[in-house]
Chain A
Amino acid sequence: MTAVVGPSGAGKSTLLRLCNRLEVPAGGRVLFRGEDVAQLDPLRLRRRVGLVAQRPTPFPGTVAENLRVAEPHADDAAMAAVLERVELDGSFLPRPAGDLSGGEAQRVCLARTLLTGPEVLLMDEPTSSLDPHTRYALEALARAQALGGVAVIWVSHDLEQVQRIADHVVVLVKGVIVHTGRARDFDAASMPREALEFLTGTGEEGAQR
């Protein structure tokens, strides 16, 4: 599990969107398992590299209808199974997705993405609109996916969160990666000044938190 941290506008979301080709780079290449993603079929790539957005984006209709957008042939058992992976259950299937709480909706979105069987899971600040309790639950769910063999890339604003969940850390400032390394060895004090201000909460970005 890798965390990408950096101030707003550093290009964290853009980085994720490049990975599943919701955007294409103005220059350079994005490689997935050694292959340029520009050469891959975008629709198949997006099923291998799933994305969970910052805000929950439930589609109109029931939870089951939401899941069937990802996998039209999924039966109730398969859908209940994937809901259990995000700590919901089959009783949610007939419920309107619009009526769910923020945390539940975000889990349904995660379940929807898991149903495509991704090898990589891109999570773009998926907890930023959730309360702390729900946040910890979603972090644990993402950890569980990572332990289950799915590579998780988690974008975050929150250094404490990063230290709770990540194995690796990538620090991004103004579109440039300024640091990569193991989360265990991560030392905020060794970062360049701009990253440091943000990470230690002394810059204007830190003041927002």
Chain B
Amino acid sequence: MTGDIGWTGLVTSLVLVGVAVAISLWRRLGLEQSMVWSAARAMAQLLVVGLLLQVLFRSRHSLGWSWIWVLVMVTFAAETVRRRAREVPDMFVLGLAAFATSAVVTLGVLFGLGVFPLEARALIPLAGMMVGNAMTSTVLVGRRVFEELRDKRSEVEARLALGLSSRDAARPYLRSALRTALIPQIESTKAVGIVFLPGAMTGLILAGVAPMKAVLVQAAVMYLVLGSAATTTTVVALGVSRRLFTRDHRLVPMTRSADA
């Protein structure tokens, strides 16, 4: 069939890595090693994932295993978020809460309303899109809320001094952080189809699915990503701002980290 490239196809496609390495050597970019390493690593990771999925789909408890898979994915994502927003306190827990909430909301809609059948073949890739594509905005919003409240401390405290609750005092800064984090996501949703053909659709078409069918799946996935980003960023923004105020509406001291 169309999409079946086989091992020969894969090895042949390595010629393209060769092209990249050749360019690096020719222009003395010094990137050959990392190119080879990243290509090898990508292949190894994908082979392991593919193998695992194949075993998993054949298992009698494939759905149960898929949920465990999702759990592991969410944990890894939360850890990545924590590492990329190091100065923000409690980012691991907040990331976990954010992706868990997003999973309930987005997967709840897609499976609950029967858009996709609830089975391992649908759950794992959709959860992957849900987590993977919301990660950047999640990191961005966490850092942004933290930086806004830290850098505009005198403004925030002036609001508190007027008798505003910490929620009211933080609201304008949350709003701007959420807008900043979500606008790129909205832009890429707008540009889809015109500027680029997204991965899910490309994959489906290459694998021989009719383009119109692929488009329907892709559109649903885009909405999943948008909904997920909105959910995770909101959870993280509210969480970070809650963490930065005391119960009696004081702003906690924040230090500027060396790399900020």
Once the chains bind, are B158 and A59 in contact (CB under 8 Å)? yes
B173 to chain A, nearest CB (A): 11
Which B208-260 residues have a C-beta within 8 angstroms of A? 248-251
On whether A53 and B154 interact (CB within 8 A), knowing A22-B250, A24-B248, the answer reads: yes
Roughly how many angstroms separate A113 CA and B250 CA in the complex, as a whole number? 18
A interface footprint on B135-162 (CB within 8 Å = 1, 0 otherwise):
0000000000000000000110111111
Roughly how many angstroms separate A20 CA and B249 CA in the complex, as a whole number? 11
Nearest A residue to B161, CB-CB: A51
Of A22, A60, A113, the residue contacting B157 (CB under 8 A) is A22
Once the chains bind, are B249 and A42 in contact (CB under 8 Å)? yes
B115 on interface, CB distance cutoff 8 Å: no
A12 on interface, CB distance cutoff 8 Å: no
B168 to chain A, nearest CB (A): 9
Once the chains bind, are A59 and B155 in contact (CB under 8 Å)? yes
Roughly how many angstroms separate A130 CA and B76 CA in the complex, as a whole number? 53
On whether A23 and B250 interact (CB within 8 A), knowing A57-B155, A59-B155, A60-B172, the answer reads: yes
Of B154, B155, B158, B165, the residue contacting A43 (CB under 8 A) is B165
Of A21, A23, A55, A69, the residue contacting B162 (CB under 8 A) is A69
Roughly how many angstroms separate A22 CA and B164 CA in the complex, as a whole number? 12
A112 on interface, CB distance cutoff 8 Å: yes
Once the chains bind, are B159 and A69 in contact (CB under 8 Å)? yes
A143 on interface, CB distance cutoff 8 Å: no
A64 on interface, CB distance cutoff 8 Å: no
Once the chains bind, are B248 and A112 in contact (CB under 8 Å)? no
Which A55-72 residues have a C-beta within 8 angstroms of B? 55, 57, 59-60, 69-70
Once the chains bind, are A47 and B163 in contact (CB under 8 Å)? yes
Once the chains bind, are B161 and A50 in contact (CB under 8 Å)? yes
Roughly how many angstroms separate A57 CA and B159 CA in the complex, as a whole number? 9
On whether A112 and B162 interact (CB within 8 A), knowing A23-B250, A24-B248, the answer reads: yes
Of A44, A55, A57, the residue contacting B163 (CB under 8 A) is A44
Roughly how many angstroms separate A112 CA and B161 CA in the complex, as a whole number? 10
A63 to chain B, nearest CB (A): 15
Chain B residues near A47 (CB, 8 Å)?
Answer: 162-163
Once the chains bind, are B162 and A24 in contact (CB under 8 Å)? no
A109 on interface, CB distance cutoff 8 Å: yes
Roughly how many angstroms separate A43 CA and B45 CA in the complex, as a whole number? 54
Chain B residues near A21 (CB, 8 Å)?
Answer: 248, 250
Chain B residues near A42 (CB, 8 Å)?
Answer: 248-250
B254 to chain A, nearest CB (A): 14
Once the chains bind, are A57 and B158 in contact (CB under 8 Å)? yes
Chain B residues near A116 (CB, 8 Å)?
Answer: 162-163
A179 on interface, CB distance cutoff 8 Å: no
Roughly how many angstroms separate A53 CA and B249 CA in the complex, as a whole number? 18
Chain A residues near B163 (CB, 8 Å)?
Answer: 43-44, 46-47, 70, 116
Once the chains bind, are A109 and B158 in contact (CB under 8 Å)? yes
Roughly how many angstroms separate A15 CA and B248 CA in the complex, as a whole number? 18
Roughly how many angstroms separate A24 CA and B252 CA in the complex, as a whole number? 11
Roughly how many angstroms separate A55 CA and B158 CA in the complex, as a whole number? 11
Nearest A residue to B168, CB-CB: A69
A interface footprint on B157-183 (CB within 8 Å = 1, 0 otherwise):
111111111000000100000000000
A175 to chain B, nearest CB (A): 18
Chain A residues near B249 (CB, 8 Å)?
Answer: 42-43
Roughly how many angstroms separate A53 CA and B160 CA in the complex, as a whole number? 12
Chain B residues near A24 (CB, 8 Å)?
Answer: 248, 250
Roughly how many angstroms separate A22 CA and B245 CA in the complex, as a whole number? 11
Chain B residues near A59 (CB, 8 Å)?
Answer: 155, 158-159, 172
Roughly how many angstroms separate A148 CA and B187 CA in the complex, as a whole number? 56
Q: What are some 17 contacts across the A-B interface (CB < 8 A)?
A: A20-B161, A22-B161, A22-B250, A23-B250, A42-B248, A51-B158, A53-B157, A55-B154, A57-B154, A57-B155, A59-B159, A69-B162, A69-B164, A113-B161, A113-B162, A116-B162, A116-B163
A: residues with CB less than 8 A from B are: 20-24, 42-44, 46-47, 50-51, 53, 55, 57, 59-60, 69-70, 109, 112-113, 116
Known contacts A24-B250, A46-B160, A57-B154; 6 additional CB pairs below 8 A are A22-B157, A43-B165, A44-B163, A50-B162, A51-B158, A59-B159
